Structure 1
């Protein structure tokens, strides 16, 4: 059985639209709006990670570990968007579902499926802000890919 031979000609990296998309990505990543959104995503992630100790619900280990893991994840996504936007811009969408998870997690993760009011308020506000920041980051990447296709 023989397999077809592939040419060793120029690949997609030399395609003119790829170069244009990289240029637009660099401009978008360097914009003030992108810098603010990325920084706020990092801050939201850091706060989510430390919130069990700030709001004093570290005594409930399930929700504390949940917030720590989600917070570190959100902060790493924000840091990745800041440091390597050309590699991470497609991963920006993950921030919005993580924000939604922060909203519903006090009822899902706690052992009695009912958390204290402070935990609920903290996670609902933090989750809403994180989801909105994720949507803003997604909006920048959607606008970038839509402009490239036109």
Structure 2
């Protein structure tokens, strides 16, 4: 037997308060800055094989695995971080997935090239991946801002 009201959980006071919190947080300049920098970082990772010059594999004459990885991961990262606060139910999952992509960008030169990565490849991915990881953690942290102060507070 369910104790929920017939209107469902979407009208519960705690859910409404949480949504209002996310709306306030995502409207701040800090959150908008994190979102803008995240989109730029993701798009840079996506185009980095052609900007930095490691897009073509000279051995096979086709796109390397790292180029494809950077293109896909960069676009997915930019997509995940664009408007991360607008999807209340998936905000945490998006930030964690974006952090995993940032960590993958750091590891990718060794995982996809097999130890034959050149310095510009390694440095580009390590720096960009580190920035992406930090931005994803910042996005995750922004969602927690103010949440801890509400947790212990009772209704009066």
So what's the TM-score if we normalise by structure 2?
Answer: 0.83
Aligned to 2:16: 19
Aligned to 2:46: 49
Aligned to 1:127: 129
1:74 aligns with one of 77, 82, 98: 77
CA distance in 1, matches of 2:50, 2:125: 13
Aligned to 2:31: 34
8 Å Cα contact 1:17/1:148 also seen in 2: no
1:69-97 deviation line (CA, Å, top 9, x unaligned): 10011110122326x34354222221111
Q: Report the RMSD for the aligned CA atoms in angstroms.
A: 2.0
**Unmatched 5+ residue regions in structure 1?**
none
Aligned to 1:105: 108
Structure-2 change in CA distance of 1:38 and 1:147 (3 Å): farther
CA distance in 1, matches of 2:9, 2:25: 22
CA distance in 2, matches of 1:8, 1:34: 34
